[in-house]
Amino acid sequence: MTRILMILTSCDKMGQDGAPTGFYWEEMAIPYWTFRDAGYEVDLASPLGGQSPADPSSDDDPAARSDAVTRFVEDTHAMQALSDTAAVSKVDASRYDAVFLPGGHGTMWDLRQTPAVAKAVSTIYENGGVVGAVCHGPAGLIEATLSDGTPLIKGRRINGFTNSEERAAGLSDVVPYLLEDALRKQGAEFECGVEDFCGFALRDDRIVTGQNPDSSAGVAEYMLAALRDTDRAAA
């Protein structure tokens, strides 16, 4: 059975600012159920293992929860998995057919900074797997390299949370780096939607990225298409 590794943040505070952060609920739950409903197994991991923190701002009005988030918080098995994620350094990435990195500002402080994240992404990709990330999740792609040392995203069409969106969120001086700038510096061909905070997902063969929370469903569907294409090529 196809298995997908989902790597969440372990960071619950924004650096010196100290504001609470974590993963963004919609960016995790929508792809999670898209993958599960398509028949794939999904395992959760994080840099430190254990409970992955959710950004409270992504679920500040339970009455306005998306169906996917409601389904997740009401699912005992899913919530147990979230409370006991595996440490990425202890995960055997060779067992997975795809890896997905949800966003949330917490990712800016630990996905890029955790070598095991880059190693897992690189291993899965070089084994023929699919790599996906949304919003700030592409932070975990920055340090990933091919076996010859070339950055994984060099020359690839990539997107993520833009500089303009970071400024609009009032956090451009809080985050440790600007994601768009870092992706470009690694040689990515950065593309984005025509407006801030509009859904925009992008597929470049086996690498799929999305710009913001509204891009979560698009990223998940593109990843499923890439997995199907990979299966057909291997048949």
| Known catalytic membership, residue 136 | yes
Per residue in 174-197, pLDDT tens?
A: 999 999 999 999 999 999 999 999
Q: What are phi and psi of 71, to 5 degrees?
A: -60, -40
The CATH label, of 1.20.120.80, 3.40.50.2300, 3.30.70.940, 3.40.50.880, for the domain at 3-234 is: 3.40.50.880
Mean pLDDT calculated for residue range 222-228: 98
Query: Could you say which of 26, 105, 135, 192 is catalytic?
Result: 135
Query: Could you say which of 26, 105, 136, 180 is catalytic?
Result: 136
Q: 234 pLDDT band (50/70/90 cuts)?
A: confident
pLDDT for res 210: 98
- How many other CB atoms sit within 10 Å of the CB of residue 129? 23
Predicted confidence (pLDDT) at residue 231 exceeds the cutoff of 70: yes
| Known catalytic membership, residue 166 | yes
Residue whose C-alpha is closest to residue 137's, from 225, 35, 219: 219
Mean pLDDT calculated for residue range 33-50: 98
Taken in order 122, 47, 15, 61, the sign of the CA dihedral is positive
| Known catalytic membership, residue 77 | no
d(CA 209, CA 219): 6
pLDDT for res 233: 80
For the chain, percent of residues with pLDDT exceeding 90? 94
Predicted confidence (pLDDT) at residue 17 exceeds the cutoff of 90: no
Spell out the residues 6+ positions from residue 77 whose beta carbon is closer than 8 angstroms to its own: none
Per residue in 149-165, pLDDT tens?
A: 999 999 999 999 999 99
Query: Could you say which of 26, 27, 165, 166 is catalytic?
Result: 166
Domain ranges for the chain: 3-234
Mean pLDDT calculated for residue range 107-131: 98
pTM here is 0.97
pLDDT for res 170: 95
Tell how strand 41-46 and strand 98-101 pair up.
Answer: unpaired
Predicted confidence (pLDDT) at residue 1 exceeds the cutoff of 70: no
Higher pLDDT, 58 or 62: 58
